[in-house]
Amino acid sequence: MPAAHAGAPVAGLRFDLSPRALDRWNPSIQAASTDDNTISVFDVIGQDYWTGEGVTAKRIAGALRTIGEGDVVVNVNSPGGDMFEGLAIYNLLREHPGQVTVKILGVAASAASIIAMAGDEVQIARAGFLMIHNAWTYAAGNRHDFRAYADYLEPFDAAMADIYVARSGQDAKAVERMMDGETWIGGSKAIDQGFADTLLASDEVAAGNEKPAALAVRRIENALRASGMPRSEAMRLISDFKAGLRDAAGGGERDATDPGREATQLQVEPLPRLTFPLTK
């Protein structure tokens, strides 16, 4: 498998969750059992602002150091997220000296599908899905900025296409068409098309504990962003709304998805009011 280009992001550019991937992701799907050589990718890729959680390259690197040079199992159920983190995690797994077995328990979408391709062996649940597409993002700026953003995204699309082609053995043009169309690939079809090797046994997949509040907040933020609202405004609006609910209930406690208004004001710089998604 080829190495992935995982260059540093340019100022003002980050990769966000696909709304459709987030809608199809069921966070309750987890592995029925794990052991000391198992890494779980059960959240968004990259650190999530609202929960402080998420799967990062730093976390995966630490887990691999703990495991040592032995074989590793990577369980995946993720809607994707930050492309830079996904490519970096892919490279870490490809460089691991032991056997890497990836098990797709639910969804491996977007950046998570790149991570899944790092396995020496890839297994997928019969009801599991891979989703592949071109890199997409929300961006802000003038027409010159948008031309620069589009040019900047091209090598990442090419890197992803190379990885999918190397894994599946399919024609590069066919894979590019699949990425252009945001393609969802079910378990059996993923094996037929070369993206996975075998189906998982049904008893390897179990339902865990959902985080409904965190998932709801992510969906609300994605909907606001898709409407054209800058991320800073979306986060401020959600924090204000949640603060109002707490006040109405007569409580002052914060839940795990709320960074607090003070933290929002400290961490978020204002963005221009006009933003457009580069792709659907």
Q: Strand pairing of 137-140 and 275-277?
A: antiparallel
Segment 54-77 mean pLDDT: 95
User: Are 83 and 63 in contact, with CB atoms under 8 Å apart?
Assistant: no
Structure tokens at 199: 């189906």
Residue-by-residue DSSP string for 38-72? EEEE-S-BS--TTTS--B-HHHHHHHHHHHTTS-E
Q: How many residues make up the chain in this entry?
A: 280
* pTM, 2 dp: 0.73
What does DSSP assign to residue 280?
-
For all residues of the chain together, what is the average pLDDT?
80
276's CB contacts (< 8 A; 6+ apart) are 138, 139, 146, 228
Residue 232 contacts residue 269 (beta carbons within 8 Å): yes
Look up residue 73 and give its two tokens.
Answer: 């199992």
Other Cβ atoms closer than 10 A to 78: 31
Q: What is the mean pLDDT of residues 194-216?
A: 79
| β partners of residue 275 | 140
How far is it, in rounded angstroms, from Cα 151 to Cα 137? 13
For 156, half-sphere exposure in the C-beta direction (CA atoms, 13 angstrom radius) is 28
pLDDT interval class at 51 (50, 70, 90): low
* Lowest mean pLDDT, pick from 80-84, 181-185, 209-213: 209-213
pLDDT exceeds cutoff 80 at 113? yes
The sign of the dihedral angle between the CA atoms of 63, 74, 30, 20 is positive
Residue 19: the pLDDT is 77
Of the candidate CATH numbers 3.40.50.150, 2.60.120.260, 3.90.226.10, 3.40.50.1000, the domain formed by 14-207 belongs to 3.90.226.10
Q: Quote the CA–CA distance of 100 and 146 in Å, as a whole number.
A: 39
Q: Specify the domain boundaries for CATH 3.90.226.10 within the chain.
A: 14-207
**Average pLDDT for 201-219:** 71
